[in-house]
Amino acid sequence: MSPTDVDIENLPDTLRTALEQGSDGPLNAICNAHAPPDLSDALETLPEDQAVAFFQRLESACAAPVYAHLEPDHQSRVLAALDEQQAADLVSALSLDDAVAVIDGLGDEHADSLMETLPAESQEAVGSLLAYPEESAGRVMTPEYVTVQPEWTVNEAMEHLRANHEVAETVNTVFVTTAAGELLAWVRLKELLLARPWNRVSELMHTDVASITAEEDREEAAHRISHYDLNVLPVVDDQGHMLGIITVDDVMDVLRAETTEDFHRMAAVGDVVLSLRDASMGLLYRKRIGWLLILVVVNIFAGLAIAHYEAAIESVVALIFFLPMVIASGGNTGSQAATLVVRSLAINDVRLRDAWRLGGKELGVSTALGLTLAAAIWLSGNWLGSLEVANAIALGMFLVVVFGAMFGMLLPFALTAMRMDPAVASAPLITSVIDIVGILIYFGVAVAMLGL
């Protein structure tokens, strides 16, 4: 039977016990009985020397899929601890797309020396994939696939698939190409199976074939697979010749990584902190201090704006009391608007051409939000201060909220138009800018209306 949740929970202890024994038998039994992702999760919790021993003592056939599921920094550290032959065996046993990901994650020197120890055939295949731009579809595709041709009979096609099943990562969907490799159509393995042996592939195939070129962004590959509900997407060159395939499980990893990147950018954390659990203190410090220092500098201007209105503060102390409420409301409304747009841009719900329409809608929404919040602060102002002060802070609130909302809504579009990642419009950045402009609007209105 399959391992239970309790077995999986205890897997680190089970592994540790097996690693402390002299014989490799129990270790092999564990490796065969558990799914690779569970084994890699368990190994990540063990001390590094035990994780390394696991890969030293097991055959590559069982160890490679486990290695493929380790987090990138664990992969690099294990590889560095193995001797040259062990490392080469392990990497050669990976599927090509996984091997590329591993080598990609190493420093240049280490990558070069590892490449030299690989068999000539793997060297060439890995090298050609590494030639594609970073984060492109070409980098995550695998060139291990089989295709059939339209003029073949079902019988010929099935024979071809049987003969080539070992080189192909998936054959659930089979692509149909010309003899020269030009992508024409796709056919389900199921359909070949159910057809009569003398039928032609051309009678069964579907010509509505989605594809992507190798130079396009891997995120676009993820969108296309998700949009068309595919299990596998063919990758082609500019002339439409097939180069490889991208499978849905690779794409789920891409989407998860890109989404995490968006989350972190939105909170002004630098890139590449993909696992909080494994990140070192030094890495976390470096990824966070940059934006914090930049924002300190931005907030100097907020200080200057307040200092500029020192006289106004001294004559009407109620103004400083309501300041945090007004400024925070502007920042909060702006963060809401920015988050809505950034997420909608990320999932293609909204595109750049929608900017004006959505800006118009946000003007309506933020007017309503601003009026509600102005009413709330007017009531408190009237209760705590005077009618004149209440009118001034209510108008200030309204203007700051509308400004915050419009800034939060339009900044991500502006970044997109400049071909930058809209997620750079982080909540802290937006809040800081709204702080400064908000202080100027708030005191400017107060000075004008109260005649200070």
For residues 216-245, which are near a second copy according to CB under 8 A? 226-231
Which region among 125-133, 321-329, 412-420, 441-449 touches a second copy (by CB under 8 A)? 321-329
How many angstroms separate the CA atoms of 439 and 327, rounded? 7
How many angstroms separate the CA atoms of 430 and 432, rounded? 5
Q: Which of residues 151-210 bind a second copy (CB under 8 A)?
A: 158, 161-162, 165, 171-172, 189-190, 193-194, 207-210
Least gap, CB of 16 to a second copy (angstroms) = 18
Map residues 399-418 to x or -, x wherever contact with a second copy holds by CB under 8 A. Answer: --------------------
How many angstroms separate the CA atoms of 236 and 211, rounded? 7
Q: Whose Cβ is closer to a second copy: residue 110's or residue 287's?
A: 287
Which DSSP symbol is given to 4? P
Q: At what angle do helices 84-93 and 60-68 cross, to 10 degrees?
A: 70
Partners of 175 in the beta sheet? 147, 186
Residue type, 176: V
Candidate residues 75, 122, 333, 391; the one interacting with a second copy per rule CB under 8 A: 333
- CB atoms under 10 Å from CB of 124, counted, come to 10
Contacts with a second copy by CB under 8 A: the residue count is 109
Q: Which of residues 24-43 bind a second copy (CB under 8 A)?
A: 33-35, 37
Q: In what order do the strands lie in the sheet with 212-213?
A: 212-213, 232-236, 242-247
3 binds a second copy (CB under 8 A): yes
Least gap, CB of 221 to a second copy (angstroms) = 13
Residue type, 319: L
In which element (H, E) is residue 18 found?
helix 11-20
Candidate residues 101, 377, 400, 425; the one interacting with a second copy per rule CB under 8 A: 377
3-state secondary structure of 208: coil
Least gap, CB of 202 to a second copy (angstroms) = 14
Least gap, CB of 336 to a second copy (angstroms) = 5
Partners of 148 in the beta sheet? 176
How many angstroms separate the CA atoms of 287 and 154, rounded? 56
Least gap, CB of 27 to a second copy (angstroms) = 17
Q: Which of 78, 83, 84 is nearest to 66 (CA)?
A: 78
In which element (H, E) is residue 368 found?
helix 355-384
Q: Which of 5, 86, 74 is nearest to 46 (CA)?
A: 74
329 binds a second copy (CB under 8 A): yes
Least gap, CB of 340 to a second copy (angstroms) = 5
* Cβ atoms of 326 and 438 closer than 8 Å: yes
3-state secondary structure of 188: strand
How many angstroms separate the CA atoms of 401 and 369, rounded? 8
* Cβ atoms of 185 and 203 closer than 8 Å: no
Candidate residues 122, 136, 147, 339; the one interacting with a second copy per rule CB under 8 A: 339
Q: Which of residues 261-320 bind a second copy (CB under 8 A)?
A: 262-264, 266-269, 273, 275-277, 281, 284-285, 288-289, 291-293, 295-296, 299-300, 302-304, 306-307, 310, 313-314, 317, 320
Q: Whose Cβ is closer to a second copy: residue 120's or residue 281's?
A: 281
Query: Tokens 């934006």 appear where?
Result: 291
Q: Whose Cβ is closer to a second copy: residue 114's or residue 430's?
A: 430
131 binds a second copy (CB under 8 A): no
372 binds a second copy (CB under 8 A): yes
Candidate residues 368, 387, 420, 448; the one interacting with a second copy per rule CB under 8 A: 368
Least gap, CB of 143 to a second copy (angstroms) = 19
Residue type, 75: Q
Q: Whose Cβ is closer to a second copy: residue 230's or residue 392's?
A: 230
114 binds a second copy (CB under 8 A): no
Least gap, CB of 304 to a second copy (angstroms) = 7
Label residue 400 exposed, middle or buried (CB < 10 Å: 0-12, 13-18, 19+).
buried
Q: Whose Cβ is closer to a second copy: residue 304's or residue 417's?
A: 304
Least gap, CB of 110 to a second copy (angstroms) = 26
Q: Whose Cβ is closer to a second copy: residue 219's or residue 262's?
A: 262
Q: Which of residues 143-162 bind a second copy (CB under 8 A)?
A: 158, 161-162
